[in-house]
Amino acid sequence: MSTPNHPSEAFDENPGTARRLLAPRRHAPGSPVAAALTRRRSKRRRRLTNVAGLFAGLCLMGALYTTIVPGAQAAGDTTTAAGTAEAAGQAIYNRTCISCHGANLEGVPQRGPSLIGVGAASVYFQVHTGRMPLARQGAQAIEKPPVLSDKEIDQLMAYVQAHGGGPTLPSGDLRAGDLAQGGELFRLNCSSCHNFVGEGGALSSGKAAPSLKNADDLTIYTAMLTGPENMPVFGDSQLTPDEKRSIIDYVQTIKAQADPGGAGVGRIGPVSEGLVIWVVGIGVMMFGIFWMGSKA
């Protein structure tokens, strides 16, 4: 009997032997080999379970980090930005305001009032209209082009608001009011000084109520809120925020409309304009008559 040259030849001669050799060995339950195999499989399953649990934990931690940390970081960034704005505002205050308003916003006698309690609203009105920094002492601060930029004004407001408190700037649409109510409130509270159409007018002691022709919404609102110069303070207990918005709507609406009679004679209407034309016309005619008479 010849010896096979390759194992497959033996399989070809004896298929039963091949099946036994290729089939996995089965060990009797409870034998040491079967117990070892069971422990090995159990250890492998535990490893896979631990890896899956670790992976799930990492995914959960990543999701929590993505949800929580950006919000905390944004809050930290906001706090840092506010602190930076206050520091920059303090530098501007020390450069432009401290000589009149004091090192601690307490004011300087005979030079400048205290800024404690005036808030960002007063800073915006005074600095945005160029009244402050004051060019010279006088009966009234004169409106002029602002000395500080918008960014510097924001920084100065942040500093004064943080250390002195007071009214803050309003938000939202400042013209979202009732136009008819605004006209009634303006005539009742404002026209005695600013004229019926916001043209301004003279006051006592060398002072004057300014014209509202070039005043923007926020300037008018902060003026009502803080009461600069001789103007009374219209807090929210005197005029509600909605009533202030109604007044602003009225002022800005009449500024955008044409004069009723076609010429700017106080916006009273064609009767006054006709009277002016009549008086001026008669005067010119009388001058012409006397001139021709003298020549004759």
pLDDT in tens, 166-183: 999 999 999 999 999 999
pLDDT at residue 286 is higher than 70 = yes
Q: What is the DSSP string of 238-262?
A: TS-HHHHHHHHHHHHHHHHSPPTTS
- 10 — pLDDT class (breaks 50, 70, 90): very low
Q: Express as a percent the part of the chain with pLDDT over 70.
A: 78
E strand or H helix at 114, and its extent? Answer: none
Q: Express as a percent the part of the chain with pLDDT over 90.
A: 49
Check residue 2 and give its pLDDT: 52
Check residue 11 and give its pLDDT: 46
Give CA–CA dist 232/188, Å, rounded. 13
| Structure tokens, 1 | 């009997």
- What's the mean pLDDT in 79-104? 90
Domains of the chain (ranges, CATH numbers): 76-169 (1.10.760.10), 170-259 (1.10.760.10)
Check residue 63 and give its pLDDT: 76
Give CA–CA dist 115/85, Å, rounded. 18
Q: Which of 86, 158, 84 is nearest to 121 (CA)?
A: 158
> pLDDT tens-digit profile of 189-230?
999 999 888 889 888 888 899 999 999 999 999 999 999 988
Query: Is the Cα dihedral 160, 161, 162, 165 positive or negative?
Result: positive
Give CA–CA dist 296/287, Å, rounded. 14
> pLDDT tens-digit profile of 111-128?
899 999 999 999 999 999
Judged by DSSP in three states, 263 sits in: coil
DSSP structural state of residue 140: S
